[in-house]
Amino acid sequence: GQQLNQSPQSMFIQEGEDVSMNCTSSSIFNTWLWYKQEPGEGPVLLIALYKAGELTSNGRLTAQFGITRKDSFLNISASIPSDVGIYFCAGPTGNQFYFGTGTSLTVIP
Amino acid sequence: DTGVSQNPRHKITKRGQNVTFRCDPISEHNRLYWYRQTLGQGPEFLTYFQNEAQLEKSRLLSDRFSAERPKGSFSTLEIQRTEQGDSAMYLCASSFSFVGGYNEQFFGPGTRLTVL
């Protein structure tokens, strides 16, 4: 199956700091998705990207679809305690979806 | 409609027992997906339905696993003769698929299975 690697694996930051994380793939994707998952819950879609080079924002979140179509980036500005969770990238190949390994974010008040 | 729902939220069973989980998707969504998620990993695709037809199955879906979506609405996932390695969170997602468009998936809260 597809390999989606996310980095960093975990982050501990102070409230108010900006956060950057990325996702790389072993092959090309035509769509990139970013999800957030909180403990005991299912993932929630944050941002969807459909075109190489696309930059999309959702509030304090900004995601970019890499030009090579093998990577994507997620930035969170001015982090707040409720940003805590695990962030997953995902991409479809045919009708199957592949998820990354996740980046765990801890925000220290 | 408040989103995708799954029942039960938690299930503890003994090895060798059969378990069944239910997923109720968002009502107008024609696609339904099942995933398995183990601790520290992202969700892994198991299978998906387009209406009542099961169109794709992952090699992760052993013959002890069976999924149905009898009327194209809710779906059930059954695991027979459970093993300790089946312990995981089982997630359901649904989407609306249309020609030429991309279907964004919405996830339920999951069923956490513990096999003793």
Decide the pairing of beta strands B44-50 and B53-57.
antiparallel
A40 vs B112: CB contact, 8 Å cut-off? yes
Residue % of chain B over a pLDDT of 90: 76
Task: Provide the token pair at B55.
Answer: 């169109």
Cα–Cα distance between A31 and A52 in angstroms, integer?
9
Q: Does pLDDT of B17 surpass 70?
A: yes
Nearest CA in chain B to A5: B42
Tens digit of each residue's pLDDT (9 = 90 or more) over A8-60: 999 999 999 999 999 999 889 989 999 999 988 899 999 999 999 999 999 99
Identity of the residue in A42, A92, A98 whose CB atom sits nearest the CB atom of B107: A42
A:B CB pairs within 8 Å: 53
Q: Is the dihedral of CA A12, A105, A65, A63 positive or negative?
A: negative
* Distance (Å) from the alpha carbon of A19 to chain B's nearest alpha carbon: 20
pLDDT given at position B61: 85
* Distance (Å) from the alpha carbon of A45 to chain B's nearest alpha carbon: 7
Residues 5-44 of A with CB under 8 A from B: 31, 33, 35, 40-44
Q: Count of residues for chain B?
A: 116
Task: For chain B, report the end-to-end CA distance as a whole number of angstroms.
Answer: 35
**Confidence band for B1, pLDDT divided at 50, 70 and 90:** low
